[in-house]
């Protein structure tokens, strides 16, 4: 487009639909002046601790070797910042693992009805970006929430089901149903009128159909490259819709609807891939800049026979340090890293401004427990991945000997995201990650 630029927050509105667009060249100001890319944050949580001897890299600084678990991430080494020596803020079996991962809380409740943590950094960032995006935050998991009552020790199941807290006493549910996530992203935000949505689902009609004319008008004003981007983006939306509808049909046929909620594919990898694509769509269209994802919740019993580990994950994590069982545990940990690498490949392949989505993201990956056999909170398996919109220097392994709190890392992340705060949970200061420890 010449003479004027297309607004970055351009929306196409149709019946029961509000659709955001991906970043287009036409959104650049006239004469293509420099535009600062949006900086996005994501948490990617893995449960039940880690086989630490298979996780921890050899060497420090830039001269480190990828460990067996981290080897699948080799293509992203220069955008990886791996930590050793960070201590959990709240270490109480599995409740403290997920309960403090993004809150940095030093304590939780004392019984199954007392639910206490702190505001998680994803929610702090969501408030910060509230005026920039339609959806402040997105919380996703692949697991159903547990029933009420005590699930870990004598504490509430709420600690296991989420890593996101709106307030010290309000844990947020994680969406596990792809249909729910899709409607949250692409339906009319905040609308109470469900008639248009129900009619579209009944006739299996694409949300794109109601904005077809507006898309055609828009494309006539765009250059060839932006027209291709719009086509690619709408094709991706249709593909996700198609897969959701297929998943619903499969669920209805194979499992009783009352026992298996409609919308989630029965195969873990299919469910995960669909959730990953929904996150990617949300980020690339700038519907949100903050995503929290649990690949599974704490105490997950999911087996992994597809990689030769038929044992349930949680019982296997209590391996009594038996080498053969630790090795099996490491295979699950490595498999999670492989699945994460596939997500990173999609982020890297998605253009965003003068780089890719991965270049403009800060991703916190890891677990809230180290040695799961002892529910250890020492030396948490954590790393940052992505370019951080220019704020992160990767390709390093930082080993801290003074056991700094995980909450201090969260405080530093708030700084990197351009929203410094006085404290996060039980933080005592910022964690220095731009230089080698004690240098």
> What is the per-residue pLDDT across 57-69, written as a single tens digit (0 to 9) for each?
999 999 999 999 9
Per-residue pLDDT reduced to its tens digit, 285-297 = 888 999 999 999 9
CA distance 315 to 229: 47
pLDDT over 60 (residue 15): no
- Residue 15 located in a structural domain: yes
CA nearest neighbour of 123 among 161, 160, 172? 172
> What pLDDT is stored for residue 285 in this prediction?
80
pLDDT over 60 (residue 17): no
What is the span of the domain harbouring residue 31?
1-35+181-263
pLDDT over 70 (residue 246): no
CA distance 191 to 209: 19
Per the CB < 8 A criterion, the answer to whether 210 and 16 are in contact is yes
Token readout for 346 is 């999609």
**CA gyration radius for the chain?**
22
> What pLDDT is stored for residue 217 in this prediction?
73
Per the CB < 8 A criterion, the answer to whether 87 and 380 are in contact is yes
Phi/psi at 18 (nearest 5 deg)? Answer: -130, 115
pLDDT over 60 (residue 204): no
Per the CB < 8 A criterion, the answer to whether 434 and 393 are in contact is yes
Least confident of 20-34, 224-238, 398-412: 20-34
- Residue 210 located in a structural domain: yes
Helix (H) or strand (E) holding 366: strand 361-366
The DSSP secondary-structure symbol of 71 reads G
Token readout for 215 is 């898309």
pTM over cut 0.85: no
Token readout for 122 is 């994803």
> What pLDDT is stored for residue 362 in this prediction?
98
Maximum mean pLDDT: which of 104-118, 131-145, 207-221, 405-419 = 405-419
CA nearest neighbour of 386 among 106, 143, 116, 43? 43
pLDDT over 80 (residue 235): no
Least confident of 14-23, 231-240, 260-269, 398-407: 14-23
CA nearest neighbour of 413 among 371, 366, 357, 354? 366
Token readout for 216 is 């055609």
Where do the H-state alpha helices sit in 367-417? 406-416
Per the CB < 8 A criterion, the answer to whether 193 and 150 are in contact is no
> What pLDDT is stored for residue 29 in this prediction?
59
Compute the average pLDDT of residues 164-178.
Answer: 94
CA distance 46 to 97: 10
- Residue 251 located in a structural domain: yes
> What pLDDT is stored for residue 195 in this prediction?
46
Label residue 321 by pLDDT band (50, 70, 90): very high
- Residue 105 located in a structural domain: no
- Residue 107 located in a structural domain: no
pLDDT over 60 (residue 399): yes
CA atoms within 13 A on the CB side of 118: 21
Per the CB < 8 A criterion, the answer to whether 380 and 366 are in contact is yes
pLDDT over 50 (residue 366): yes
Q: Is 140 helix (H, G, I), strand (E, B) or coil?
A: strand
- Residue 356 located in a structural domain: no
> What pLDDT is stored for residue 250 in this prediction?
39
CA distance 339 to 320: 27
> What pLDDT is stored for residue 175 in this prediction?
94
Per the CB < 8 A criterion, the answer to whether 363 and 44 are in contact is yes
- Residue 170 located in a structural domain: no
The DSSP secondary-structure symbol of 57 reads P
CA distance 147 to 180: 20
Least confident of 76-90, 193-207, 342-356, 419-433: 193-207
Label residue 219 by pLDDT band (50, 70, 90): confident
pLDDT over 60 (residue 203): no
> What pLDDT is stored for residue 282 in this prediction?
86
Q: Domain total for the chain? A: 1
CA distance 387 to 269: 27
> What pLDDT is stored for residue 151 in this prediction?
85
Per the CB < 8 A criterion, the answer to whether 300 and 48 are in contact is yes
- Residue 282 located in a structural domain: no
Per the CB < 8 A criterion, the answer to whether 399 and 86 are in contact is no
Per the CB < 8 A criterion, the answer to whether 325 and 318 are in contact is no
> What pLDDT is stored for residue 439 in this prediction?
39
pLDDT over 90 (residue 334): yes
């Amino acid at each position: 487009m010449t003479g004027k630029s297309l607004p970055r927050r351009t929306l196409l509105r149709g019946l029961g639909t509000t659709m955001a667009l991906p970043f287009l060249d036409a959104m650049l100001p006239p004469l293509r002046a420099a535009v600062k890319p949006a900086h996005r944050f994501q948490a990617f949580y893995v449960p039940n601790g880690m086989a630490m001897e298979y996780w921890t890299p050899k060497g420090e600084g830039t001269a480190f070797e990828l460990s067996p678990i981290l080897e699948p991430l080799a293509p992203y080494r220069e955008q990886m910042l791996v930590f050793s020596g960070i201590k959990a803020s709240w270490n109480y079996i599995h409740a403290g693992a997920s309960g403090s991962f993004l809150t940095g809380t030093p304590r939780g409740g004392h019984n199954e009805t007392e639910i206490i943590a702190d505001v998680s950094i994803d929610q702090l960032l969501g408030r910060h970006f509230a005026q920039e995006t339609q959806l402040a935050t997105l919380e996703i998991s692949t697991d159903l929430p547990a029933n009420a009552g005590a699930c870990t020790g004598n504490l509430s199941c709420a600690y296991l089901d989420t890593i996101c807290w709106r307030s010290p006493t309000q844990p947020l549910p994680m969406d596990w149903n792809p249909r729910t996530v899709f409607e949250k992203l692409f339906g009319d935000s905040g609308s109470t009128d469900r008639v248009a949505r129900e009619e579209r689902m009944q006739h299996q009609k694409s949300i794109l159909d109601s904005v077809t004319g507006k898309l055609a008008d828009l494309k006539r004003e765009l250059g060839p490259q932006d027209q291709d981007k719009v086509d690619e983006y709408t094709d991706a939306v249709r593909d996700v819709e198609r897969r959701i509808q297929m998943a619903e049909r499969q669920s209805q046929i194979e499992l009783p609807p009352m026992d298996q909620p409609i919308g989630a594919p029965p195969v873990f990898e299919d469910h995960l891939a669909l959730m990953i694509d929904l996150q990617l769509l949300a980020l690339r269209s700038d519907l949100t800049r903050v995503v929290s994802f649990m690949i599974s919740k704490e105490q997950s019993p999911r087996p992994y026979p597809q990689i030769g580990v038929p044992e349930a994950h949680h019982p296997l994590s209590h391996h009594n340090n038996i080498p053969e069982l630790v090795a099996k545990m490491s295979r699950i940990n490595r498999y999670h890293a492989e699945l994460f690498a596939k997500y990173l490949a999609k982020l890297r392949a998605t253009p965003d401004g003068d780089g890719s989505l991965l270049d403009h993201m800060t991703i916190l990956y890891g677990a809230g427990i180290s040695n799961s056999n002892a529910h250890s909170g020492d030396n948490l398996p954590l790393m940052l991945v992505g370019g951080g919109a220019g704020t992160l220097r990767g390709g390093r392994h930082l080993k801290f000997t003074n056991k700094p709190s995980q909450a201090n890392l969260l405080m530093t992340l708030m700084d990197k995201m351009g929203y410094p705060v006085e404290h996060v949970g039980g933080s005592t200061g910022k964690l220095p990650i731009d230089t080698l420890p004690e240098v």
